[in-house]
Amino acid sequence: MPDARAFVDRATAVGCQVSLAGPADVDAVVGAVVAEMEATATEACTLSARAALMLPELADALTEGGADVRIAEELAAGLSTRELAERLAGRVGVVAAEAGVVETGSVLPSDDTLPARLTGMLSESVVVLLPSSRLLRSLDDLADLLSQLAAQGRHFLSLVTGPSRTSDIERVLTIGVQGPRRLHVVILQEEARVGNE
């Protein structure tokens, strides 16, 4: 199994926040989302349908905590792309990862609907839920996965490594240009693998 700690080191090095959540530890995930809402001064968050499915208790737990929680695909219903984009911009996004890559500290979001994709692109802060079983060692392993996903009809596969950045002006690194300013990866550790890596 790829090493979760090595992933944490690399993801941190590229500017991610990284949290670990034990098995069935919904509170830890809620904590990460709440931290991001505080950091971006909002009480609202958008969950992609896949994220909601990955951790079924999360939406309710966040709502109980007082957050305004919406499912991206539901939020999008009846809205134009412009309206959706404007709504998403002021909320924290929560999406699910298909995979994480230890070599680079990257995550591959699994969402394939446009509203879920836009949640990952337009939110100021994005929380990515990454089950530890989905850690891949290298970009070579990712290449195999990409081939499978493309063959299954997935059309937009975007590997994300840290928050959006630019060095175009005087080569000064500035975080958050067109994409999210903050990227928070929550590794969902699974029962069988805890403590043996």
Partner 1 sequence: MATSDAHQGSTAHEMLPFEVRYRRALSNQQLERNLLNFQRSWRTARDAVWQAYAESGMAPQPAGAPNANPLASLSDSPGDRLFASLRDQMAAIKDEVIDHLEEYVDQFTRAAARNGVRVYRAATAEDANRYVLELCRDRGIQHVVKSKSMVSEEIELNAALEGAGIRVVETDLGEWVAQLSHERPSHMVLPIIHKNRVQVGDLFSAYTGRQISRQDIGEQVRVARSELRQEFLAAGMGITGANAVVADAGAIMLVTNEGNARLVTSLPKVHVVLVGVEKMVPNFAAAMLQVRLLARSATAQPITAYTTFINGPSEPGREMHVVLLDNGRSAMRATPLIRDALRCIRCAACANVCPPYAVVGGHVFGHIYSGAIGLVNTPYHHGLEADAGPQSLCVSCNACATVCPVGIPLPQQILEVRTEVVRRLGLPLPVRLALELWSRPRLVQPLLRLAGQLLRPLSSGGMLRLGRLGLDRLQVSRQQLSWRTPPTVGGTPARDLLRPGRPEAALPNDAQGLRVAYFIQCVTDWFAPQMAVAIAKVLRALGVELVVPQPQHCCGLPAFDAGDRDTARRMAQQTIETLERVDADYILTGGASCVVCMLHEYERIFEDEPAWRERAQRLAHKVVDFTTFLVEVARLRPGTLNAPPGLGRVTYHNFCQSLNVLGLREAPIKLIRDILGLEYVELPEANVCCGFGGSTSITHPEVASHILRRKLENVASTGADVLVTDNPGCILHMRGGLDAAGNGHVRVMHTAELVAECLPRGLGHGA
Number of shown-chain residues binding partner 1 (CB under 8 A): 50
Which of 37, 142, 185, 186 forms a contact with partner 1 (CB under 8 A)?
142
Q: Which of the 8 DSSP states describes residue 23?
A: T
Cα angle: 177, vertex 165, 41; to 5 degrees: 60
**From the list 31, 65, 90, 176, which residue makes contact with partner 1 (rule: CB under 8 A)?**
176
- Report if residue 104 touches partner 1, rule: CB under 8 A: yes
Separation CA 44–CA 96 (nearest Å): 18
Residues 35-94 that bind partner 1 (CB under 8 A): 81-82, 85, 89
In the bound state with partner 1, the residue whose beta carbon lies nearer, of 56 and 153, is 153
- CA dihedral for 100, 88, 59, 156, sign (positive or negative): negative
Give the residues across from 47 on adjacent strands. 71, 94
Cα–Cα distance for residue pair 48/93, rounded to 1 Å: 8
Considering beta carbons, is residue 21 or 164 the nearer one to partner 1? 164
Q: Is the C-alpha dihedral spanning 50, 118, 72, 91 positive or negative?
A: positive
Q: Is 171 in the site for partner 1 (CB under 8 A)?
A: yes
Q: According to CB under 8 A, which residues from 116 to 135 bind partner 1? A: 117-118, 121-122
In the complex, the residues that contact partner 1 under the rule CB under 8 A are: 14, 81-82, 85, 89, 102-104, 106, 112, 114, 117-118, 121-122, 137-140, 142-144, 146-147, 150-151, 155-172, 174, 176-180
